[in-house]
Amino acid sequence: MSKHKVKGIDSAILHQAFIDSFKKLNPKILIKNPVIFVVEIGFFLTLLLTIHPAIFSEAETNLRVFNAIICFILFVTVLFANFAEAIAEGRGKAQADSLKKTRKNTVANLLKADGTTTQVDAGSLKKGDIVIVNTGELIPSDGVVIEGIASVDESAITGESAPVVKEAGGDFSSVTGGTRVVSDKIKVKISVSAGESFLDKMINLVEGAERKKTPNEIALNTVLVGLTLIFLVVIVTLFPMGLYVGVQLPLSTLIALLVCLIPTTIGGLLSAIGIAGMDRVNKFNVIAMSGKAVETCGDINTIILDKTGTITFGNRLASEFIPVEGVSKKDIIEYSVISSLKDLTPEGRSIVELGKKFECILDEKDYEKAEFLEFSAQTKTSGINLTDGRKVRKGSGSSIKKFVEEQNGTVPKDLDEIVDRVSRLGGTPLVLAVNNKVLGVIYLKDTVKPGLKERFDNIRKMGIKTIMCTGDNPLTAETIAREAGIDEFVAECTPEQKIEVIKREQAQGKLIAMTGDGTNDAPALAQADVGIAMNSGTTAAKEAANMVDLDSDPTKILEVVEIGKQLLITRGALTTFSIANDVAKYFAIIPAMFIVAIPQMEILNIMKLSSPVSAIVSALIFNAIIIPLLVPIALRGVSYKPMKIEIMLLKNLAIYGVGGILAPFVGIKLIDMIITPMLRALGM
């Protein structure tokens, strides 16, 4: 999805996660995860039964070894669940530690009322303070440039090595704490209080321990608690039912059944999935103000995008050579390329590249002695004077007409019609002339970024509509929308109209995402369900949005939506797998509990497990080890291809639903085959 790579799990993270797994055994911490907390209670009860087996019933006296085995497996189950969450948190904490180094011991040059400066600790700065940042110094906190212009290295935050220019006024005045000024000097007004900078928010976000649960996660947690309570009631009623048929069920067996039937797998992975989802967003250099914003991305119905810089490059590049009547296309292509060989502007380079597509490839060395004329605001032309006296010029229609008339030439009758046609399409007509003869028009247009059409097709397959809002005229907007594969466009769009578009879509019950960077985008960003502001944009835009893209890449919204989708899909897939697991565990444990008193229940022992004890222990072991085996999927996310939600649901039900039923049958049977000799050696 992106050039950014998700960092793997190194040995340091694993070591710390192992230590944290034991720390999380504290009931005060574990009670936040009710399902695993129930498993821990089961562990303490079986531990008590192992130490004092007769405390519950005299029958338990002969089950000390069995109770000890159950106790150990339950302990490992809790440990594995803690380990899954600790690994996810560990990746975030490693990134947070790296970010903390960025802001550590930063000194600020605070400007006092008398015009002098004094050095203070960056942490003591208040909103409204003014600081001076010189070449080579770190910007102490988020703020706005109020005087000066400078190149700022933002690689510590964004990972991009190329410095960006920041200057007072306009949409590129916002600066981020922890970035470094690499040239010149700027005066910055601090815009946040201590602990509220984007760097602080990012650190708090990536530290999993401080992550708040999202609404969907809370809802799923409630469902899991409900299922746990239901199975708890079932297990409690099984004891008197057993007595009725003449079977006194050991407490450890009932606990084993409860642990196997409650959704321990998803209970152990739920936090890890959420933390990992946030972690993936951070790896894309996006600061989310809340987990809810990331999760909402997974439910987005409509994406609203600006045209310039998002869908198109923003530079007008050569698209077509249009000769006037009586001129061959070959001539206009050749002279267009000649006039642009030494033109280093984006337009000039694009003319040379377009010429190559028509097999017009010229050697710049052949024109070394020619006189190149750069574009002049006075003449509105650029060009080249060749050594044989030919003068090649390109520029606006009026300026080239004047040039030709000065050479005693005539203007072709169809020139104005071509210029008007290109202008109506929203393009820039660059007229080309050689001496006193007009050859035609170079059609410059804002070019759609490569690969966007395919990405919008993928977005459409997910059931998401795209709307382009642009200030261009309807004809230009329609052309760009058609080329990019946009579903809908709004031409000559004002900031007020953007809000109207968002409200219109929201009135239909849809969730909206949009990007923006200017002050005029702030109201729309605030109105949208997910607003992504560019880090290079204004403070107003960043404060209105609930996400900030540190790379200032407007197309990042497409990737963030995909991450949100992946987060929800991963949670749904593993929940399906976990619940499906319970079906197989039922066939392992229930027959084992009653087969002595009710021989007919042998028919349910479809796995042909060797003994009741082996069946219970095998099911418990599988229940424990499946959690760490699924950790890589929880961290990486379920891979998926954009498709309609109905197809995606059926696909995941087929893979994780059916897989969740089949995997325990295979796994429990294999474990049974391995542990049976060991249990027999113990006299069980």
Contacts of 257 (CB under 8 A, 6+ apart): 235, 238, 589, 590, 593, 616
Q: Which of 279, 306, 446, 672 is catalytic?
A: 306
The helix or strand, by DSSP H or E, that contains position 355, with its residue range, turns out to be: helix 346-357
599-604: Cβ within 8 A, 24+ apart? none
Query: 171 — alpha (psi -120 to 50), left (phi > 0) or beta?
Result: alpha
Tell me the C-alpha distance between 515 and 367, whole Å.
Answer: 46
pLDDT, mean of residues 305-315: 74
Strands (E), 540-604: 547-549
Band of the pLDDT at 98, cuts 50, 70, 90?
low
What backbone phi and psi angles, to 5 degrees, belong to 556? -60, -25
pLDDT of residue 73: 92
pLDDT digits (tens, 9 = 90+) for 329-365: 999 999 999 999 888 888 888 999 999 999 898 888 8
Tell me the C-alpha distance between 369 and 364, whole Å.
Answer: 10
pLDDT, mean of residues 543-565: 79
382 appears as a binding residue in the annotation: yes
pLDDT of residue 210: 46
Band of the pLDDT at 93, cuts 50, 70, 90?
low
Tell me the C-alpha distance between 513 and 272, whole Å.
Answer: 26
Tell me the C-alpha distance between 651 and 649, whole Å.
Answer: 5
Tell me the C-alpha distance between 303 and 585, whole Å.
Answer: 44
- Amino acid sitting at position 438: V
The count of other CB atoms within 10 Å of the CB of residue 243 is 11
CA 602 to chain centre: 51
pLDDT digits (tens, 9 = 90+) for 421-458: 888 777 888 999 999 899 999 998 877 888 888 888 88
Report CA Rg, the chain. 34
CA-based torsion, 78, 81, 83, 85: positive or negative: negative
* Environment class of 481 (CB within 10 Å of its CB; exposed 0-12, middle 13-18, buried 19+): buried
Q: What is the mean pLDDT of the chain?
A: 82
379 appears as a binding residue in the annotation: yes
Contacts of 49 (CB under 8 A, 6+ apart): 55, 56, 60, 63, 67, 71, 251, 252
Q: Check if the beta carbon of residue 106 is closer than 8 Å to that of residue 178.
A: yes
20 appears as a binding residue in the annotation: no
Contacts of 544 (CB under 8 A, 6+ apart): 521, 522, 523, 525, 526, 531, 533
Tell me the C-alpha distance between 455 and 451, whole Å.
Answer: 6
330 appears as a binding residue in the annotation: no
Residue 100 has pLDDT above 90, yes or no: no
Residue 48 has pLDDT above 60, yes or no: yes
Annotation marks residue 306 as catalytic: yes
pLDDT digits (tens, 9 = 90+) for 614-649: 888 888 899 899 988 888 888 888 876 766 667 777
pLDDT, mean of residues 368-390: 86
The single residue listed with the structure tokens 């793997």 is 8
Q: What is the DSSP code string of 381-443?
A: EEEEE-TTS-EEEEE-HHHHHHHHHHTT-B--TTHHHHHHHHHHTT-EEEEEEETTEEEEEEE
Angle at which helices 64-103 and 251-261 pack, to 10 degrees?
A: 40
Cα–Cα distances (Å) from 575 to 217, 268, 568, 581, 589, in that order, read 12, 11, 11, 10, 21
Q: Check if the beta carbon of residue 455 is closer than 8 Å to that of residue 290.
A: no
When mean pLDDT is compared across 31-35, 183-187, 250-254, 408-412, the lowest value belongs to 250-254
Residue 392 has pLDDT above 90, yes or no: yes
Residue 197 has pLDDT above 80, yes or no: no
Band of the pLDDT at 54, cuts 50, 70, 90?
low
Q: Which residue has the higher pLDDT, 638 or 391?
A: 391
380 appears as a binding residue in the annotation: yes
Band of the pLDDT at 91, cuts 50, 70, 90?
low
Q: Global pTM?
A: 0.64
Band of the pLDDT at 417, cuts 50, 70, 90?
very high
Tokens of 3: 């050039």
Q: Which residue has the higher pLDDT, 318 or 59?
A: 318
Tell me the C-alpha distance between 78 and 69, whole Å.
Answer: 15
517 appears as a binding residue in the annotation: yes
378 appears as a binding residue in the annotation: yes
pLDDT of residue 4: 43
Cα–Cα distances (Å) from 252 to 44, 56, 273, 610, in that order, read 11, 10, 31, 19
Nearest to 579 by CA among 215, 222, 228, 88: 228
pLDDT of residue 3: 43
- For residues 424-459, b (16+ Cβ closer than 10 Å) or e, as one string? ebbbbbbbbbbeebbbbbbbbbbbbbeebbebbeeb
366 appears as a binding residue in the annotation: no
Tokens of 37: 């907390």
What backbone phi and psi angles, to 5 degrees, belong to 417? -65, -40
Tell me the C-alpha distance between 284 and 138, whole Å.
Answer: 23
The count of other CB atoms within 10 Å of the CB of residue 365 is 8
Three-class DSSP category at 589? helix
Q: Check if the beta carbon of residue 362 is closer than 8 Å to that of residue 337.
A: yes
pLDDT of residue 2: 41
The helix or strand, by DSSP H or E, that contains position 514, with its residue range, turns out to be: strand 512-516
Tell me the C-alpha distance between 555 and 542, whole Å.
Answer: 17
347 appears as a binding residue in the annotation: yes
Q: Which residue has the higher pLDDT, 74 or 615?
A: 74
Tokens of 250: 């050991």
Three-class DSSP category at 657? helix
Residue 160 has pLDDT above 60, yes or no: no
Band of the pLDDT at 258, cuts 50, 70, 90?
confident
pLDDT, mean of residues 155-161: 59
Band of the pLDDT at 74, cuts 50, 70, 90?
very high
Highest averaged pLDDT of the listed ranges 317-326, 521-530, 546-555: 317-326
pLDDT of residue 30: 87
pLDDT digits (tens, 9 = 90+) for 473-495: 787 788 888 888 899 999 888 87
Three-class DSSP category at 179? coil
Cα–Cα distances (Å) from 27 to 38, 225, 247, 439, in that order, read 10, 17, 34, 83
Band of the pLDDT at 251, cuts 50, 70, 90?
confident
Band of the pLDDT at 61, cuts 50, 70, 90?
low
The count of other CB atoms within 10 Å of the CB of residue 409 is 16
CA-based torsion, 280, 283, 288, 293: positive or negative: negative
Q: Would you give the end-to-end CA distance of the chain in angstroms?
A: 53
Please state the three-class secondary structure of 201-259 as a single string.
HHHHHHCHHHCCCCHHHHHHHHHHHHHHHHHHHHHHHHHHHHHHCCCCCCHHHHHHHHH
Tokens of 626: 């499946």
10 appears as a binding residue in the annotation: no
The count of other CB atoms within 10 Å of the CB of residue 51 is 12
The single residue listed with the structure tokens 């967003």 is 281
CA 483 to chain centre: 26
pLDDT of residue 314: 67
In percent, how much of the chain has pLDDT > 90? Answer: 16
Residue 162 has pLDDT above 70, yes or no: no
Strand order in the sheet with 530-534: 286-288, 547-549, 530-534, 512-516, 302-306, 465-469, 488-490
Nearest to 332 by CA among 341, 320, 350, 348: 320
Residue 5 has pLDDT above 50, yes or no: no
* Environment class of 511 (CB within 10 Å of its CB; exposed 0-12, middle 13-18, buried 19+): middle
